[in-house]
Amino acid sequence: MNGKVTPPIKSERRQKRRLEPTIQSVDLHVGQQIRILRIQMRLSQSDLGKGIGLSYQQIQKYEIGRNRVSASMLYQMAKFFSVPAARFFEGIPEAVTGPSNEAARGVDDHIAYISTTEGRDLIARMLLLSPRVRKRVVSLVGALTQE
């Protein structure tokens, strides 16, 4: 041997390219969680980027799952949002983690709803009610959903 490394032949490179994933569901999930937290805090992608030293384009790529978020960046984001790093993995799809309970799967839907304008408005108005009236409203909504 002469110590030189021979480059892979074309067919090996093509095969390797085919094996490389485009968007992994974990990356997509983490990106969605970043977006949800950003929207809940009423921040633009630029605002978040400035807060952690990235461009809005990079934040956009993270949110759509195009780029993977490194562990150190995830830690920075967790500090910025004042949440535990594990928050980005809550409600991760069953296909990635295996079987999980129904409540865990519904967490993402709940968080996604409360990050909408309608969800925030509903919560703000509910908090204006007395605890007794809030309890009655919850009972009423529960009765309506059973129909």
Cβ contacts of 145 within 8 Å, gap of 6 or more: none
- DSSP code of 8? P
Of 40, 92, 34, give the one whose Cα is nearest residue 59: 34
Q: Quote the CA–CA distance of 36 and 91 in Å, as a whole number.
A: 13
Report residue 31 as tokens.
Answer: 């990106």
Q: pLDDT tens digit string along 67-118?
A: 999 999 999 999 999 999 989 988 876 555 454 445 545 666 777 777 778 8
Please report the domains of the chain, with CATH numbers, ordered by start residue. 12-115 (1.10.260.40)
| 66, containing H or E segment | none
Cite the beta strand spans of the chain per DSSP E: none
Q: How many residues does the chain have?
A: 147
Q: pLDDT tens digit string along 130-145?
A: 999 999 999 999 999 8
Q: What is the pLDDT of residue 147?
A: 74
Q: Which residue has the higher pLDDT, 42 or 15?
A: 42
Q: What is the pLDDT of residue 19?
A: 41
pTM for the model stands at: 0.53
Q: In this structure, are residues 96 and 29 in contact, taking their beta carbons and an 8 Å threshold?
A: yes
